[in-house]
Amino acid sequence: MTALTALLSGLVFGFGLLLSGMADPAKVLAFLDLAGAWDPSLMLVMAAAIAVGVPAFARARRMKASLLGQPMQLPAARQIDRRLVLGSLVFGVGWGMAGICPGPALVLVGAGQFKGLVFVLAMLAGMLLFALLERRRSR
């Protein structure tokens, strides 16, 4: 049941990305282009996501288990450190250059878009590099 719920959630998320235009790199880049032909429509998508997410996370914090009986695993870290800031900057620069972030990249791969595949492969390479650097750092 958990796998089916995850599949359905992913499909709804992917459909939402397509419906909102967030899987279209040109639309995302137009949103980020404040000095040019700015497209504010993605701000509405983000506001809607926040409006849904805030009450959901507030409820989740009070729950010991999910609706499917799985233990709740919410992030506990609250500190803003150098690693978080640097990771956020790298993410933001990549998003600004490509107009793609991980969720839409998977939608693009599913749609057979080559740019999505390139992004996902680069993302996996970055994750592998991070894991190798973390392993080296912990020694």
Q: What is the average pLDDT across 44-59? A: 93
- Say if residues 106 and 23 touch (Cβ distance below 8 Å): no
How many Å separate Cα 30 from the centre of its chain?
A: 19
**pLDDT cut 70: percent of the chain above it:** 100
What's the pLDDT at 67?
86
pLDDT at 54 exceeding the cut of 90: yes
Q: What is the average pLDDT across 8-15? A: 91
Alpha helices in 1-139 (DSSP H): 2-20, 25-32, 41-62, 82-98, 102-110, 114-138
pLDDT tens figures, 78-129: 899 998 899 899 889 988 889 998 999 999 999 899 999 999 999 999 999 9
Q: What is the pTM of this model?
A: 0.77
What's the pLDDT at 20?
87
